[in-house]
Chains A and B, each alone.
Chain A
Amino acid sequence: MNIPLLYSLSGLARTIHIWLAGLISNEMLLLTTEMVIMGISLIAFLVLLCFFLGYMERRVAAFMEIRLGPNRVGPKGTLQIVADTVKLLLKEGLTPDLSDKFLFNLAPLIVVITSMLVIAPIAFAKDFQLWDINIGVLYVSSVSSIAVIGILMAGWASNNKYSLLGAMRSGAQIVSYELSVGLSLISIVILSGSLSLSDIVYSQSNGWWIFKGHIPIIISFVIFVVASTAEINRAPFDMAEADQELTGGFNTEYAGMKFAMFLLSEYINLFVVSAIAATIFLGGWMPFHIGGWESFNHIMDYIPSFFWFMGKTFFIIFIIMWFRWTFPRLRVDQLLSLEWKYLLPISMVNTILITVMAIMGWHF
């Protein structure tokens, strides 16, 4: 399949690689340098992304609530988050007296690091991927569930009863919703026949799975969005924080930069989840093509693949934000009954349907 993409970030990556290879002859050193560059640029990208997501969330919330939102610092308020970050940096990094100090300080790091790790196999643009691992889907779903350990740690170490309750809620929640997320991921794995995220993207070159896979895929897409909203602890499933019940849940005792780490990880998780949904169901960086419309498809190809990826991701991010600013919070037992009585049985039946569909070749 020849995909004529004119602009791609892979060219840039290749140029840097060739330039570095000219400078450094040692293989090992070259690899290490490249990894350091990758790490720094990834962290910088994620922090900037979180700034933007924070700004976006506040503006989206404001417009839905007939308000204006932040519009004072910088043009249209874009620097508000930067100002907030400076404020958080200057705050005292308080550790409560009776807390388990080691775990208390470790927890935010674990939460942030796990959410950053999940970025690795995601294809940001055509042939532009940090780590094209052949078990990408498995990697994503297993690494993202480590985050619950960080949250449990934070809740336990704070020596605060609200924190502990929040952490326990979060534990039950993430473990249950992991199942639905996994099953919806599996439905695409069945259809594309590969666990590698880049293969899944390439399998959608003649149409995105959400269009190719009929109603079962739409169902599993909806389940994926709902379950992953729950997995990243966002309203209406923010049982672990639940400001009105637990005054902030597991991060009640955190202040300053440690609190900002939780915030950072929340936004990275939001991005990761949306990016995976975009990759798996909406074709990742694949442009939108309609069979037979050659000139239309050609115009679509002129839009760089990075923008396709980001556009789809932000579409899903917007939907998740829309959920948050519309719905009340579920109660903790209803949260679990939603998973075990509705999402899980439906996605199990759905998986069977998709398997039948894949075997019979009913999809496009």
Chain B
Amino acid sequence: MFLKEYFGTIYKSVKSLLTGMKVTGYYFTHQKEILTEEYPDNRSTLKMFDRFRGEVIMPHNADNEHRCTGCQACEIACPNGTIKIITKQELMPDGKKKKRIDAFIYHLELCTMCNLCIVACPSDAIVMGQTFEHSVYDKKTLRKVLNKPGSKIMEGVE
């Protein structure tokens, strides 16, 4: 029957359209379902996951000591040349000379947060920080020196 088919099509179409409108209508009337996070306003409550890879940082303890021995394993592991370690020879109290880091240079603008340097580090000197707001006006400020001025290596880390 042509007419039956014709009106059947119309009935089915209208029904399917109303089903769709029911879904959007539900969300229009149930505004508690809204998922938007108002980002700059929720900054104080926003907590990133502890594994989130925001940037490479070098933790220092209260005595301004870090764990980096300057072995350059991270520099080798980095696929992008993000890390550059400058070492110096330091005179020990017992008269021996030892390799110590002068500057741990980290180019945030080159980093892809692949975590390979953290995995490669034998002395857990570097970790991933959770900061993610890295936008700056000058690209040069993204070149960071991770060891703090005057810091030295922690006792017992070789």
Direct contact of A and B (CB under 8 A): yes
Q: How far is the CB of B151 from chain A (nearest CB, A)?
A: 43
Stretch at the interface among A10-18, A59-67, A101-109, A255-263: A59-67
Chain A proximity mask over B84-96: 1 for CB below 8 Å, otherwise 0: 0000000000000
Q: For the complex, give the distance between the alpha carbons of A67 and B27 in Å.
A: 10
- The verdict on A325 contacting chain B, using a C-beta distance below 8 Å, is yes
Q: Which chain A residues border B23 with CB–CB below 8 Å?
A: 326
Q: Are B35 and A66 touching (Cβ within 8 A)?
A: yes
Q: Are the CB atoms of B20 and A326 closer together than 8 Å?
A: yes
Q: Is the CB of B34 within 8 A of A68?
A: yes
Min CB distance, B3 to chain A, in Å?
11
Q: Is the CB of B24 within 8 A of A322?
A: yes
Cβ of B28 and Cβ of A64 under 8 Å apart? Answer: yes
Q: Which residues of A contact B28 (CB under 8 A)?
A: 60, 63-64, 322
- B10 CB–A CB distance under 8 Å: yes
- Residues on B with beta carbons closer than 8 Å to the beta carbon of A65: 27
B27 A63 Cβ-Cβ under 8 A: yes
B14-35 vs A, Cβ < 8 Å mask (1 yes, 0 no) = 0001001101110110010111
Whether, in the assembled complex, A211 has its beta carbon less than 8 Å from a beta carbon of chain B, the answer is: no
Q: Whole-angstrom distance from the CB of B143 to the nearest CB of chain A? A: 34
Whole-angstrom CA separation of A328 from B21 in the bound complex: 12
Complex: how many Å from CA A325 to CA B33?
17
B 29-75 contacts with A by CB, 8 A: 31, 33-36, 38
- Cβ distance A339 to chain B, nearest Cβ, rounded Å: 14
CB distance from B73 to the nearest CB of A (A): 46
Decide: B24 and A66 in contact? CB cutoff 8 A: no
Q: Note all chain B residues with C-beta closer than 8 A to A327.
A: 17, 20
Which residue of chain B lies nearest to A346 when distances are taken between CB atoms in the complex? B10
A335 to chain B, nearest CB (A): 14
Query: What separation, in Å, do the CA atoms of A327 and B31 have in the docked complex?
Result: 21
Tell me whether B25 and A322 are in contact (CB under 8 A). Answer: yes
Chain A residues near B33 (CB-CB < 8 A): 66
Question: A residues 22-80 with Cβ under 8 Å of B?
Answer: 60, 63-68
Docked-complex contact B34 and A66, CB < 8 angstroms: yes
Q: Is the CB of A64 within 8 A of B27?
A: yes
Give the nearest-CB partner of B19 in chain A.
A326
Does the CB pair A342–B10 fall under 8 Å?
Answer: yes
91-113 of chain B: CB within 8 A of chain A: none
Is B34 in contact with A63, judged by CB distance below 8 angstroms?
Answer: yes
Which residues in A have their C-beta under 8 angstroms from that of B36? 66-68
Residues of B contacting A64 with CB < 8 Å? 24-25, 27-28
With both beta carbons as reference points, the residue of chain B lying nearest to A236 in the complex is identified as B17
Chain A, 341-356, contact with B by CB distance < 8 Å: what is the 0/1 string? Answer: 0100000000000000
Chain B residues within an 8 Å CB radius of A326: 17, 20-21, 23-24
CB within 8 A of B31: which of A63, A322, A342? Answer: A63
Q: Is the CB of A322 within 8 A of B38?
A: no
A64 to B34, CA, bound (A): 9
- CA A322 to CA B21, docked complex, whole Å: 7
Q: Mark B107-121, 1 if CB is under 8 A from A, else 0.
A: 000000000000000
**Given the complex, which residues of B lie within 8 Å of A60, measured CB to CB?**
28
How close is B140's CB to chain A, nearest CB, in angstroms?
A: 32
Considering the complex, give the chain A residue whose CB is closest to the CB of B17.
A327
Chain B residues, CB < 8 A from A325: 24
For B25, the closest partner residue in chain A by CB is A322
Rounded to whole angstroms, the CA-CA distance of A342 and B17 in the bound complex is 16
Interface residues of A in 64-121 (CB under 8 A from B): 64-68
Contact in complex: B38, A68 (CB < 8 Å) = yes
Q: Please give, as numbers and ranges, the residues of chain A lying within 8 Å of B10 by CB-CB distance.
A: 342
Interface string of A306-349 (1 = CB under 8 A from B): 00000000000000001101110000000000000010000000
Cα(A327)–Cα(B38), bound, Å: 28
Closest to B22 in A: A326
Residues of B within 8 A of A322 (CB): 21, 24-25, 28
Q: Can you show 15 pairs from A to B with CB atoms below 8 A apart?
A: A60-B28, A63-B28, A64-B27, A64-B28, A66-B27, A66-B33, A67-B34, A67-B35, A322-B25, A323-B21, A325-B24, A326-B20, A326-B24, A327-B17, A342-B10
Chain A positions near chain B (C-beta within 8 angstroms): 60, 63-68, 322-323, 325-327, 342
The 6 closest A-B pairs by CB, nearest first: A64-B24, A68-B36, A326-B24, A63-B28, A326-B20, A64-B28
Other A-B pairs beyond A65-B27, A66-B35, A325-B24, 17, CB < 8 Å: A63-B27, A63-B28, A63-B31, A64-B24, A64-B25, A64-B27, A64-B28, A66-B33, A66-B34, A67-B35, A67-B36, A68-B34, A68-B38, A322-B24, A322-B25, A326-B20, A326-B23
